[in-house]
Amino acid sequence: MKKLQLTTKIFIGLILGIIIGLLLQGNPQIAATYISPFGTLFLNMIKMIIVPLVFSSLIVGAASVGDPKSLGRIGGKTIAYFLVTTAFAVVIGLILGFVLQPGSGLSIPVDVSQEAAEVPSIVKTLLDIIPANPLKGLVDGNILQVIAFALFLGVSCTLIPQEKSAPFIKFFDSLAEVMYKVTAIVMSFAPIGVFALIVPVVSNHGLDVLKPLSILIFAVYLGCILHALITYSTAVKIFANMSPMTFFKGIAPAAITAFSTSSSSGTLPITISCSKENLGVTDKIASFVLPLGATINMDGTALYQGVCALFIAQVYGIELTIAQIFIIILTATLGSIGTAGVPGAGLIMLTLVLQSVGLPLEGLVLVAGVDRILDMARTCVNVVGDASCAVLVTATEKELVEEEAKSKN
């Protein structure tokens, strides 16, 4: 028999968990005593990954941007566009999460011991982002501080001579690779983890769990379509005077590949060829913007994290404050820089968003069972977003070059 794909196994874990959960409906204590510990084990393994994974991959991501001085205008535009559209995507995700309320049909009381302590104000949150003691930030798993410190390190690498920064980057690149492997190993336990975590939920709540999951899928797909139609159509029309139809038609082969592979890195060669051949992106811009985009620009992933964070908050009956919403936008936007363009990476990074605002990681399980379906849509948006940036940068650079030529004549 052909080896089953991990996603299929996770899905089977979810279905089996639902069935066993239904069978145990009268006796939830059996699930709590004998099955739940495996779920806790799985969650602990995920928690174990977060800090080293985020730290190393963000340093490498930020360092891969290259020397800001030599990148100049193109680099500046690219990074600005990536950050603005990603933040926009999270906001769309959050709005849909509020409007569609995917998690409101299911209510799982949160374990009081896990509830986030007092929620700090926005000013305190902002001040706290810069760690007075970065090692303490790492040890405490304070995600915003970890992100901030990693970005400082990564960006600084681009400002010193290459021979000095190379060993440092190489070390963290190697750590990141090792952490991807650790993640893969941990994820290979996901079918059991998902099974063990869903059984107690279903034994307590019955089939009520299915409806929220369908609304979640609907919300993510709707968000992806809206983001593409609103953000990218506007960007290519306004900045490149390109009809959105032409843009979407030109990038369609890459979008379809992304949809079916769930990997923006894997889709990169096709994104490059579509952008150059169908959308008039120049060689120079394609070879800078698109690989960088496949590494650090993940609009679809950020949007998905916005929807999922609200979904999980709703399921656990946690009201998010404005400061927490703000943190979600910040962590999802910055966290997307460290998300690898491979299947399922966004799910791991979702733990970062949840952790940053003290939402229960258990909520991941509900999402994990349907994650591949969500991954297809978000990867598609990730890739289309990269291409829209390349189109925009090509057009605005061309204008500048023409203007410069005119003013010389």
Q: Footprint of ligand ASP on this chain (CB under 6 A)?
A: 262-264, 298, 301, 339, 341-346, 375, 378-379, 382
Q: How far is CA 328 from CA 34, 47, 174, 313, 324, in A?
A: 35, 18, 29, 12, 6
Nearer to ligand ASP by C-beta: 203 or 263? 263
% helix, strand, coil for the chain, step of 5: 80, 0, 20
Query: What is the distance between the alpha carbons of residues 205 and 335, in angstroms, rounded to a whole number?
Result: 33
CB of 374 to ligand ASP, least distance (A): 8
- Taking the complex as a whole, how short is the minimal distance between the CB of residue 53 and ligand ASP, in angstroms? 13
Least gap, CB of 346 to ligand ASP (angstroms): 2
Of the two residues 257 and 339, which places its CB atom closer to ligand ASP in the complex?
A: 339
Give the residue with the Cβ less far from ligand ASP, 24 or 350.
350
Least distance from ligand ASP to the Cβ atom of residue 369, Å: 15
78 neighbors 288 (Cβ within 8 angstroms): yes
The two structure tokens encoding residue 99? 């409007």
DSSP 337: G
In this structure, are residues 409 and 296 in contact, taking their beta carbons and an 8 Å threshold? no
Q: Confirm if 290 and 73 have CB atoms less than 8 A apart.
A: no
Minimal distance, residue 60 CB to ligand ASP, in Å: 16
Give the span between the Cα atoms of 110 and 115, in whole angstroms.
Answer: 7
Count of helix runs (H) and strand runs (E) in the chain: 19, 0
Select from 233, 231, 255, 234 the least CA-distant residue to 245: 233
CB of 269 to ligand ASP, least distance (A): 14
- Pick the closest to residue 255 from 114, 379, 361, 394 (CA basis): 379
Residue 404 CB, shortest distance to ligand ASP, in Å, is 36
How close are the terminal C-alpha atoms of the chain, in Å?
Answer: 71
Give the C-alpha separation, 312 to 295, whole Å. Answer: 27
Min dist CB 401 to ligand ASP, Å, is 32
Between CA 365 and CA 367 the distance in angstroms is 5
Between 77 and 372, whose beta carbon lies closer to ligand ASP?
A: 372
CA-to-CA distance for 337 and 307, rounded, in angstroms? 18
Smallest separation, CB 301 to ligand ASP (Å)? 3
Question: In the complex with ligand ASP, which residue's Cβ is closer, 142 or 265?
Answer: 265
> Phi and psi of 217, rounded to 5°?
-60, -45
Q: Name the residue with the smallest CB distance to ligand ASP.
A: 346
